[in-house]
Amino acid sequence: MANRKDLGTDSMCLEFIENLTNFGGFKPGAGINPLVSRVRGPSIYLEMCRKLDDVTDDPYNTTLDENRLRKPKAWRYTTHLFRDIMRLHACYEDRTRPFSLWFGNKFVADAIDTQKAIAPWARRRLNDRLRRLLGQGNYAFWFTVEGTPENKRAIHAHGILEVTDPVWWEDKKKYRKLRDSIRYAVGTDTPVQPSHQLDTPATPMDQGWITYCRKYRLSRLRSEDYGGTPPPEIGYPTRASSGGLGRRTSDIYEQCRSEFLWAKKTAEQKYGGYKGPIAAL
């Protein structure tokens, strides 16, 4: 379970990335632009320190804000929520869409009968279909699996899908091929109408979408029915991603982490650091 220090540090790192993005120092999917980040990074760091001075007298808030200024952790020590949000930052905006996908009844039944967790089983099937259609390395995805209270076997997923060539989103014929490959990968005999099985709206995303995708996990942790564990119909783990996206995300994060540490060090050397009530730890 993540503690307050973990959540505070991750929040600070995301804020640094978002600020860099506003100045062109970070581009989703591509990572750091050192020509911009080396100019803007120290000032962004100092501005973040100044904002953290606007705290209340509540000891909890003060402790949380101080923890936000700790050095970002290595990728292997970050929280699961942070990793999921970073996967969105690791995807190119013009190539990526959110998606919602219902699994076929037979697909779910076979997974249950063979005691396979839904998420890794679906990842394997999707990888196979997309690799044959698009080619190895020309796609990336991440998703979480959730159930339906009214029907335990009515299982679906929410996530993100990136295709290297945006024409697969724009060309109607190509999109139908992409849509059908995804549908056939998980079965088409779904609890919903065929036209509603896969939804990929062309809408911009932020970390709010990732939070929505994880809502089932949060509600499950608060539920007493399964003691915080996934129901047997879904299995564990409840989320999955293509291997290439995981590696790309960790690489981009380490770039951002290195850039933050450089900005912090430079701010301390060039400007003497921040002298306000809250000092970086």
Please state the domain extents for the chain: 4-70+249-270, 90-241
220-232-112 Cα angle (round to 5): 140
pLDDT of residue 280: 39
Q: If we measure between CA atoms, which residue out of 2, 1, 14 comes closest to residue 253?
A: 14
Q: Domain 90-241 belongs to what topology?
A: Replication Protein E1; Chain: A, (3.40.1310)
Determine the Cα–Cα distance for residues 154 and 275; give it in Å rounded to an integer.
56
Tell me the per-residue pLDDT of 181-219, one tens digit each, with 9 for 90 and over. 999 999 999 989 988 999 999 998 888 899 899 887 655
Whether residue 12 is predicted with pLDDT greater than 90 in this model: the reply is: no
CA 74/CA 81 separation, integer angstroms = 15
pLDDT digits (tens, 9 = 90+) for 140-157: 999 999 988 778 788 999
